[in-house]
């Protein structure tokens, strides 16, 4: 009987504790349930796409109600309220957080903002680096030409083996011309086009990714890559095929070289901001420059995809030089018009 009384006392104490906890939970809910219900109604309306129908009072109350319910959740956790209340509050706080602090832009909205001016503004914000990168690319092309013109052995140092095949010093005019106009009958050119795209995409990404090293690697990459171009320009010019070679290259090259130019400028921008942060801390300067450069690089990826399509399809099927020039420089005019003629202000309206 004593043992029975002992267990009976424990059961009674446990039942009393459970009853007290339930009472405390009910009282806690009753005191605050009005705020919870109102917040849930506001969040549900926003989730259903009817945010514009909210009254001014509800809009102003949303952040206050969110903080109130978040506080209720904190108290509920500390006082070990019932699991159902905790689960309800956690779900409501998560939903409300997304509406108060979460992203507002859909994928379509982001694309509209990106192409509607964000990308072009980011590019214009890098104009000193764009000019510097352009000067480096021109210098690299000239250096590559002059080195090979002075000593043809430089060609094999500057031009990767994948680029050489029949395109080497000493090749006849007919052989070189066949590489420009017999694309439909040369299966190897498809592989060559894929390699060109892969190589130039790698250069573009490295120019940006290595910008943190105070901009030095992008400088070297831009010069090295365009020195290869200069060497190949000399080769075709030596056989009187410079005009045709530039046309063959232009159909995709205007887009691809512009993409490399922008990626180099983005890397230089990050490096310059880190080397000369001004009154900002190094981390702040790098973060600010990185955000602008990242927007530019998102567009560079799109440009490389366009260049890859032009390179893999258009250049191999269009074998009339003037048509190649028309497509290549038409694309260049399109990109330049977007970057420097198409302007929108920060608010998204048309700029004067």
**Please, which pLDDT band fits residue 89 given cuts at 50, 70 and 90?**
confident
For residue range 31-72, list pLDDT tens digits in order.
778 888 888 888 888 877 777 777 878 878 888 888 888 888
* pLDDT for residue 147: 95
- How many C-alpha atoms does 116 have within 13 Å on its Cβ side? 12
Quick check: 158 and 148 in contact, CB under 8 A? yes
**Please, which pLDDT band fits residue 351 given cuts at 50, 70 and 90?**
very low
* pLDDT for residue 4: 45
Nearest CA among 318, 289, 322 for reference residue 181? 318
- How many C-alpha atoms does 78 have within 13 Å on its Cβ side? 7
* pLDDT for residue 57: 82
* pLDDT for residue 123: 92
Q: Measured between alpha carbons, how far is 88 from 131 in angstroms, rounded to an integer?
A: 58
* pLDDT for residue 340: 82
Q: Is the pTM of this model over 0.75?
A: no
Can you list the alpha helix ranges (DSSP code H) found in 102-187? 107-113, 119-124, 127-150, 153-158, 161-164, 173-181
Max mean pLDDT range (115-124, 144-153, 160-169):
144-153
Residue 172 has pLDDT above 50, yes or no: yes
Nearest CA among 131, 50, 145, 128 for reference residue 292? 128
Q: Measured between alpha carbons, how far is 27 from 60 in angstroms, rounded to an integer?
A: 28
Quick check: 190 and 316 in contact, CB under 8 A? yes
Tokens (6 digits) for 217: 């690697």
Per-residue pLDDT, averaged over 135-145, amounts to: 94
Helix, strand, coil percentages for the chain (3-state, nearest 5): 85, 0, 15
Residue 349 has pLDDT above 50, yes or no: no
Q: Would residue 150 be called left, alpha or beta, if left means φ above 0 and alpha means ψ between -120 and 50 degrees?
A: alpha
């Amino acid at each position: 009987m004593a043992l029975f009384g002992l267990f009976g006392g424990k059961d009674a104490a446990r039942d009393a504790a459970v009853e007290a906890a339930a009472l405390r939970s009910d009282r806690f809910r009753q005191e605050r349930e009005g705020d919870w219900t109102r917040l849930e109604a506001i969040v549900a309306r926003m989730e259903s796409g009817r945010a514009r129908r909210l009254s001014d009072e509800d809009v102003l109350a949303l952040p206050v109600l969110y903080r109130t319910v978040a506080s209720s959740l904190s108290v509920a956790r500390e006082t070990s309220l019932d699991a159902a209340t905790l689960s309800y509050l956690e779900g409501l706080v998560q939903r409300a957080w997304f509406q108060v602090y979460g992203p507002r832009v859909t994928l379509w909205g982001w694309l509209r903002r990106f192409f509607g001016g964000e990308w072009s503004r980011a590019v214009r914000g890098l104009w000193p680096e764009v000019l510097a990168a352009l000067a480096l690319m021109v210098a690299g092309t000239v250096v590559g030409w002059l080195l090979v013109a002075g000593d043809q052995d430089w060609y094999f140092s500057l031009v990767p083996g994948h680029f050489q095949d029949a395109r080497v010093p000493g090749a006849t005019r007919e052989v070189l011309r066949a590489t420009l106009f017999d694309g439909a009958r040369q299966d190897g050119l498809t592989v060559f086009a894929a390699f060109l795209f892969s190589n130039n995409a790698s250069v573009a990404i490295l120019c940006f990714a290595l910008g943190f090293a105070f901009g030095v690697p992008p400088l070297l990459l831009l010069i090295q890559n365009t020195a290869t171009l200069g060497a190949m320009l000399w080769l075709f010019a030596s056989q009187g095929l410079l005009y045709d070679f530039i046309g063959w290259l232009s159909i995709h090259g205007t887009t691809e070289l512009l993409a490399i130019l922008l990626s180099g400028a983005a890397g230089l921008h990050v490096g310059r901001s880190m080397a000369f942060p001004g009154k900002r801390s190094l981390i702040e300067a790098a973060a600010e420059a990185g955000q602008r450069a990242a927007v530019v690089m998102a567009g560079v990826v799109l440009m490389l995809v366009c260049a890859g399509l032009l390179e893999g399809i258009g250049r191999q099927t269009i074998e009339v030089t003037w048509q190649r020039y028309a497509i290549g420089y038409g694309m260049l005019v399109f990109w330049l018009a977007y970057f420097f003629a198409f302007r929108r202000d920060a608010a998204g309206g048309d700029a004067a």
